[in-house]
Amino acid sequence: MFIVMGATGNVGAAVADELLAHNEEVTILTRHPEDADAWTKKGAIVARADVNDIASLREAFRRGRRAFLLYPPADPSGNTDATERRSIANILAALAGSDLEKVVAASTYGAQPGEAIGDLSTLWEVEKGLQSQPIPAAINRGAYYMTNWLSFTETVRETGTLPSMFPVDTQMPMVAPADLGKAAATRLLGSVGDTGIRYFEGPKRYTPQDVANAFAMTLGREVRVDVAPRTTWEAAFEGAGFSPEAASAYARMTAVSLDSGFDKPASPSLGATDLHTFIAAAVASKA
């Protein structure tokens, strides 16, 4: 039995779907099993577990022999850094006594120690915590999610403008959820000895201009990139409903990612989903 966290999100769902496609038994964890009928219809088992309840999480882990770990993103209207660090501590505590033989965890390019730099610092905590406990742990560092651009779909459709905090010609490693799901499932199904950090991205690297071009081809209109000056980033996040603490953390994460070159590895594992195919499919699914 495989346990999957985060199946209500893009990456966790892709992991669960990939395992089910291999005819494996899958239990997805959710705080609201009453809303998970779609997974039951797919053949998965649904178990109630709350990241704020260590006992429920440990009991859920005991249902299986291997688990995919993905902490739930915090509500950006609060202090995301503090909330996510608590979630991570609870997940690590729940692993103790779970009897799992292996875990695979989602992380990110650029994960590093620090305070309040968004996913870069919180996922570093995940990595270090897993490396210091006895269950064999495989860590998948994923590139910039292609899904991050989808929130701008209606803006692009209506105005022909793609907002970006990255310069138009910035070469960025990007990846689709389906490819991350396949990568995680492969490591879950692999040997216990397959541990440590590996990097995963799409078939090539893209720029914000490439994203604009993909939207243009899909929507049949011209699209230009509107690059926001760095001095406006925090205000932009706050305007989107982020708390001051979360806005600061996300702005710092964006700056560190950009200034460090996105932690591009020399030899990442490459997925099959190209940017245009992803954008076209995502737009079509919402039509």
CATH value at residue 121: 3.40.50.720
Helix H or strand E encompassing 210: helix 208-219
What does the pLDDT average to over 169-193?
Answer: 97
What does the pLDDT average to over 132-149?
Answer: 97
pLDDT of residue 287: 65
Residues 100, 102: Cα–Cα separation, whole Å: 6
229 within some domain: no
286 within some domain: no
- 8 Å CB contact between 93 and 59: no
The mean pLDDT of the chain is 95
241 within some domain: no
285 within some domain: no
DSSP state of 204: S
Q: How distant, in Å, are the alpha carbons of 148, 166, 216 from that of 153?
A: 10, 17, 11
Q: How distant, in Å, are the alpha carbons of 29, 30, 46, 71 from that of 34?
A: 12, 9, 9, 20
What does the pLDDT average to over 29-55?
Answer: 91
CA angle 267–282–81, rounded 5-degree value:
65
Q: Total domain count for the chain? A: 1
Nearby residues of 201 by Cβ (< 8 Å), 6 or more positions away: 109, 142, 143, 173, 174, 175, 268, 269, 270, 271
Amino acid at 201: E
Please report the beta strands in the chain, taking only residues with DSSP state E, as ranges in sequence order. Answer: 2-4, 26-30, 45-48, 66-69, 102-108, 137-142, 144-145, 161-164, 174-175, 196-201, 224-227, 269-270
User: pLDDT exceeding 90 applies to what percent of the chain?
Assistant: 92
Sign of CA dihedral 279, 281, 286, 287: positive
Nearby residues of 59 by Cβ (< 8 Å), 6 or more positions away: 49
- Strand, helix or coil at 270? strand
Helix H or strand E encompassing 177: helix 177-189
pLDDT of residue 33: 83
What does the pLDDT average to over 95-105?
Answer: 95
pLDDT of residue 35: 81
125 within some domain: yes
Domain of 195 in residue numbering reads as: 2-144+175-202+264-273
pTM of structure: 0.94
Give the Cβ contact number of residue 216 at 10 Å.
18
pLDDT higher than threshold 90 for residue 106: yes
Using 50, 70 and 90 to split pLDDT, how confident is the model at 127?
Answer: very high
User: pLDDT exceeding 70 applies to what percent of the chain?
Assistant: 100
pLDDT of residue 1: 93
151 within some domain: no
pLDDT higher than threshold 90 for residue 280: yes
- 8 Å CB contact between 170 and 233: no
C-alpha 86: how far from its chain's center? 18
82 within some domain: yes
Residues 9, 13: Cα–Cα separation, whole Å: 6
pLDDT higher than threshold 80 for residue 44: yes
Tens of pLDDT, residues 231-275: 999 999 999 999 999 999 999 999 999 999 999 998 999 999 999
pLDDT of residue 37: 86
137 within some domain: yes
Tokens representing residue 95 in the block: 């692993």
